Structure formats: structure tokens, C-alpha cells
Chain A
Amino acid sequence: MMYTKNLEKIQSALPDRFRPIIKECLNDIGLIQRLPMVLLPRRFSLSNILIEENHCHLNGVFGWGDADFGPFGLRLHQLEVFTGRLHPEKGWTKFKDYEEVWGAFWQAFGDGIGGELDPQIVEGIKKIRVVGLLMDTDVGNEKRVGSTGDSVDEAGKYNLMMLDQLLIHPETKFANIPVIRGSAIQDKGS
């Protein structure tokens, strides 16, 4: 299985508090496998998004030379960087309009697909978002995080902080993904 092995490795490297979250992903691996495979740039970051200067509309996305294929949602967590701020010590804080802008994101997404997204696909997206974050933070690398979950270097410490904040801490964790229902075109449904 594509992600099972990775997840198991990550699970054994992380403290127990992450176990239920990873277990949920492992249980739902079937949903992840049903997600569309899409073309993804390696990284969505503040420097490879191009915007129109006056109103900040999206004008371009760079980084396609080493793009690859993955389930839709694999790099969704990278967009968090547009909706919050990272402090060197405090870690992650959401901007005040965090919920609102993510609402706008999913509304535009729904309008784009022109119909309601199968709730099972939404569930799969929630899980792959977590998997993508875990894989990006390189926590499966045992040199970074000891088997007891103690970070053994600065990068490991930082990764653990990010994971705590994005996956566990109630004030900073990922927003829920709403029912995705576009208003543009009414699809016949699946």
C-alpha cells in the first residue's frame, strides 16, 4: 500500500499522543486510494505564488519543473501558510479571518467543480491532508525524533511543535472541511 508503510514508520517514531490521529488515517487508507490523482507542484509557498498587485488575485503558480502526481489534497496543508503566521518561538498562529478565508476557499472550490463532492471524498481529503503534513515534516526519519518521541535535534523539535499545533492543539489545528457544494452548475451526482 502506498502510504501504509510510511504511516506505520511515522507512527512508531512519534509520541503516543499522535497515535489515534495516524490510526484514523490508516483505517481510512481506502478512502485515500479513491482520491483523484492530480498533478501537484512540490511546494506551495509564499515565494512561488504570483498575485495581481492591487487586489491580490491569484495570477500564477510556479514550481512545475519537478511537479509530481499525488492524491488530491496531499499538499493541502501547505496552503496553511497563507492563512496564519509562524513565530520562531510561539509557533503557529491563525490569522483572525482564518475560518472565513478557508470558507471562501472551499466555496470557490465547490463552484469550480460545479456540484456536491461525495462526502467520502471529503473524508479522504481530510486524511490525506494529515498524511501530507506528516510526510513533509520528515518525522519518519528516526534520526530526527527518538523512539520515545523526544526530539533529538532542532529540526525534530520544530517538526514536533508544528505537528502538535496543526494536528492536536484545539486553537491552531486544521480547520474542518465543510460540505463542499458548488453553486455554479448542478451536477447529476454520482
Chain B
Amino acid sequence: MLANQDVFSYPDIFAYIHAFWYKDQSTASGHATMSTSNTSSTGDAIVKFFEQTCSSREACHAQAKEIVGGEFEPVEIQGSRSYTGYAGEQRRDTIVQFRLEHSNYDIETARLARRIYERLVPGWYSYGVVDSSMNMKKHDEGKELLNTYVMNRLEGIPYLKSVLVQFPENSEECFTWRKNIMTGLGEYGSRYLPRFLRIFANTSWIDSWPAPIRGRKVRQTFQQDILYQIYPNVVKI
């Protein structure tokens, strides 16, 4: 069943954070995902990232601390358009991400995903621009603002770091594990279908779109309408 809750709002984030805090792992792979890396490549990536922005690393750390508390700890692998780290008072149970303004996340879509897939998708919260009032001069010079996103940290490890990748691929253990993950993906894939199939099984979906909807201008509004039809319990307009 789809969750029947209000749209994910600011105080909710803390509930989610505590529901999904990352259990500290004592294994090597657990450490690997959590450790702060000071390797030069990570360091270089971070330096390069901040060259594109009008915010400083310190401002980001301060922003993270203000929002969720605790010391900000960069994740091991950084993307080129974002600066990401663990934060949170005690358990580093939250992920804070700073993204260049041109690669902003569509927070509404991310929230919708959360509402449909529930625990399989992190809850997101957008927290605005990092020290927006202080660095407009740099912004005028072409440097980008950073937007802040906060998400809860889901329990687990990336597939890439799992035993499945380390074990011989055709071993008995891998057969069992692989079956587990594919079963999970099958369940996940089925989440959005039942309600939809009853409503639309006999309509040609795209043909039924009124012509203006195919234009880009009204796409967004239309998308919301569609969402409401498909996921009435999930979307509130």
C-alpha cells in the first residue's frame, strides 16, 4: 500500500533520520563506506569543486552543522557537481549535500519517489542556498551558488562494495544473494502498478493526452495532474 501521509516536511526529516540511521559496521567494507578519505584525488576533486562556486568549504560545513548538528565528514567518493558528507549529532546518520545551482535536484520528484517506494528511497529536504547574502559579488563574476540538500542515510552498502562483487560469480553463495536482490527489485518494480492497471488498462495513454500537453510549457503542471491521478494517496497538490 502507498503511504497516506502529508508531503514530507521539515520536522519529518528528523523522524526519518532516526528511523534509518546507519548501523555502524565493524567489517572492512563498512569502514570503507564510512571512512573519511584524505587521498589526494578526493582532495583535488573537492578543491576543483569549490573553484566553481561562490561559497567556501567552511561555509558548507557551518551550514551542515547548523542544520543537523555534528561535524561534517566528506564521503569517500565525491561527484563533480556536488560536495557530500555525513553529518548529524552523534551517529552521522544524515547526509548533507551541496550542489551547484545548475545541477539542482528536482526535490519534488525525489519526494514523490520517497512516497511511492517508501523505505527504499531516502527522504530529501531542500535547505536553500549557502550564505546567500554574502557572496553575490562572486556570483556576478560567474561563480555558482550552492544549494543544500539533506537526506537520511539508508542502512546498507552499495552493491558495488558487496560480497556479490567480491565472491566468484558462479558460487552457490552468489546464487542465493543474487536471487535475494532480484526478488527485491521485482517487488520494488511492482509497487506502482496495481492501482494504475485498474484505471488505465484499456486506454491508450499517450493518445489521450490533449495536444497542448505535449508542449514543454505546460508539462510540469500536467505532470502534477497525472501524478494526482496515478498516485492519489501520494500526491497533494
Contacts and interface: CB of A to CB of B under 8 A. Distances in A.
A59 to B, nearest CB: 4
A79 B106 contact: no
Interface stretch (B5-13, B86-94, B185-193): B185-193
Given A38-B192, A113-B197, A190-B197, A69 B158 contact: no
Q: Is the interface of B mostly helix, strand, loop or mixed?
A: helix
Interface of A: 1-2, 30, 33-39, 41, 44, 46-53, 55-62, 64-69, 71-72, 79, 82-83, 85, 95-97, 100-102, 104-115, 117-118, 121, 182, 187, 190
Nearest to A95: B169
Given A67-B113, A190-B202, A55 B194 contact: no
A39 B181 contact: no
Interface in B18-70: 25, 27, 29-30
Nearest to A62: B122
6 contacts: A35-B205, A36-B196, A60-B120, A72-B192, A104-B179, A107-B186
The 8 closest A-B pairs by CB, nearest first: A112-B190, A58-B184, A108-B186, A65-B105, A59-B156, A56-B177, A105-B186, A64-B113
Interface of B: 25, 27, 29-30, 104-107, 109-110, 112-114, 116-117, 119-122, 124, 154-160, 162-165, 169-170, 174-194, 196-198, 200-207, 223, 226, 230
A105 B116 CA distance: 19
Nearest to A2: B206
B230 to A, nearest CB: 7
Contacts of A112: 186-187, 189-191, 193
A190 B198 contact: yes
Given A49-B158, A58-B185, A190-B201, 8 more contacts: A38-B196, A47-B159, A56-B162, A58-B187, A65-B124, A66-B109, A107-B186, A121-B201
Contact of A39 (B112, B157, B162, B182): B112
